[in-house]
A and B are shown apart, each in its own frame.
Chain A
Amino acid sequence: MDNMRHKNGCRNGCCGLCCTRIENFGVAIGKNEILKDVNLHIHCGELTALVGPNGAGKSTLLKAMLGEVKHTGELKFMDEKGIRNGQPLYGYVPQHLNFDSGSPTSVLDLFMASRFRFPAWLYSSRTIREKVAGSLERVKASHLIDRRLGALSGGELQRVLLALALDPVPDLLLLDEPVSGVDQSGMEIFYNTLTQLKENYDLSIILVSHDLDLVLKYADRIALINRTVLSSGTPQEMLDEGKLLKTFGMSWYKGKIEFSRQEEKGDKSV
């Protein structure tokens, strides 16, 4: 149903072109210029991966979009009805929670604090509980509802945070290195869930990642960031132009890329 809504929007020239435009973003803290002239088009129903070296300003870009960090430039968002709408509804999965792992805060508390006005310390009604369980079920995590946040494994925590970011279903889902500290199979599960959600809800997803393997496999677009957007394109374009290699100076990675190309050619011939 969301998909249909979106296709109506397409007629208004929203999707296919873009739903979100980041125009001339710049962030400076003191005299230190962290981001400059950032221009990006985020397409609906696509996963855009931001890659770049450490300290390139990827997380800062997400925080600037959220309005947490002051920035110059504009973010223009067009919703599915084709109405210009300055501020999209964000879903955000932070890089690290950095919270006190001894804190007596359960998954239910986290949802109550984010989603409901009713004070979480007072009482949790059955209705609220059922709604939260429903949100968690989207990422198959409803069994975690009463667990303490500090007692969750890295992968479980990321799924809970993803469920939270999807409640309510956002226009733009921002993920900051969502799978750091999660094992390989956990990552695969996470990315598969993400792909499914992207298709079901026609989400625009922006993901910061260091893991080129996963980015090449799951992203629809890659933007190379180092204080500005160095280049962007589909994974294939980025590989063909060798831009990923140049920027990162990852000669060690070349073998891997050629290998994956051969694999793809193999796939095509089948």
Chain B
Amino acid sequence: MIGFINDITEYGFLRNAFLAVLLVSPVFGILGTMVVNNRMAFFSDALGHGAFTGIAIGSVLGLLKPIWVAIVFSISFAIIITIVKNRSRSSTDTIIGVFSSTAIAGGLVIMSARGGGFNKYSSYLVGDLLSITLSEIMMLMAVFMGVVVLWLFVFNKVLLISINQSLAASRGVNTLLVEVVFTSAVAVIVTVSIPWVGILIINSMLVLPAAAARNVTINVRQYHLVSVVIAQVSGITGLVLSYYWNTATGATIVIISAFLYFITLAARSRFG
């Protein structure tokens, strides 16, 4: 650990990665609480696929920063799924499945069409946290602050909708608008994190800390606190371990949160 602190002061890339983890983990912890409460685990997975397509489109357009196209695309994707889900009477699972697979297929077609250069994009599958730059950290900082401010204003409404939509409507909540705002926020954090975490495990970052926290908490204050702490602890531990083991950082973080999840699960069955 002392060695790691020395390395952090010495190597800029490690310092950047560490800052990125400090900023991104709490956002995952916070938004994850309501993703899990709303049974949206599959939905947020689809958002990851949407973001992948967005990155593909951005690259095709030849932009230096495909991330902005990806953000716009995945927000639109989130809004469309939310509206279709609310309008349609088909099962939510089916609708999300349709959108999700269409998005990932579209992304793959676009990327492979460019002269078989798919390998160039394979980093998006696993992610590479150590390659993050300072300007990208600034963007994460903005996202972090944006989510916290948003959460101050919309959380109560999101919670009420998750308990009962009609009840929320009877209280004058514009349920569709709030849902769209919430899913857009999830879409943004998923999109900006994909290059560092990887599309394969992005959803676990969102779901695992909250899923672990709800095993051992009884109100939303505890729920948020424990979820953020678990996200942060697994983020930092995962980064340190991946640095020494030379493994994929995102995956190592997820392994740690999964480990914490099973500990809380055991604690729950013991204490009821």
Contacts and interface: CB of A to CB of B under 8 A. Distances in A.
Interface of A: 29, 62-63, 66-68, 90-92, 94, 97-100, 102-106, 108-110, 112-114, 116-117, 119-124, 146, 148-149, 161, 164-165, 174
Number of contact residues on B: which range applies?
A: 20 to 34
Contact of A119 (B156, B163, B164, B169): B156
Contact of B159 (A29, A68, A113): A113
> By CB atoms of chain A within 10 A, which of B153, B175, B218 has the most?
B218
Interface stretch (B5-13, B94-102, B104-112, B219-227): B219-227
17 contacts: A68-B175, A92-B166, A92-B170, A97-B164, A99-B163, A100-B39, A102-B214, A104-B213, A104-B223, A109-B159, A110-B163, A113-B155, A113-B159, A119-B156, A120-B159, A120-B221, A146-B219
A157 to B, nearest CB: 11
Interface string B164-180: 11110111000100000
A145 to B, nearest CB: 10
Given A110-B163, A113-B160, A120-B159, 19 more contacts: A62-B166, A66-B166, A66-B170, A67-B169, A68-B165, A92-B167, A99-B162, A103-B37, A103-B162, A104-B214, A104-B217, A104-B220, A105-B223, A106-B218, A110-B160, A113-B156, A119-B152, A120-B156, A121-B151
Nearest to B225: A121
Interface core residue of B30, B155, B166, B224 (most chain A CB under 10 Å): B166
The 10 closest A-B pairs by CB, nearest first: A92-B170, A106-B219, A68-B169, A104-B217, A113-B159, A104-B223, A113-B156, A113-B160, A121-B224, A109-B220
Contacts of B49: none
B220 to A, nearest CB: 5
Given A103-B214, A114-B160, A121 B220 contact: yes
A116 to B, nearest CB: 7
A122 B169 CA distance: 24
Given A67-B169, A120-B159, A105 B164 contact: no
Nearest to A87: B172
Contact of B170 (A90, A104, A121, A124): A90
A10 B73 CA distance: 57
Contact of B152 (A91, A114, A122): A122
A174 B167 CA distance: 11
Contacts of B220: 104-106, 109, 120-121
Contacts of B156: 112-114, 116-117, 119-120
Contacts of A121: 30, 33, 151, 155, 220-221, 223-224
Contacts of A105: 37, 159, 163, 219-220, 223
A266 B189 CA distance: 71
B168 to A, nearest CB: 8
Interface string B130-168: 000000000000000000000111011101101111110
A77 to B, nearest CB: 15
A124 B218 CA distance: 14
A94 B167 contact: yes
A66 B168 CA distance: 10
B218 A91 contact: no
B163 A149 contact: yes
Interface in B72-92: 89
A94 B160 CA distance: 13
A121 B32 CA distance: 13
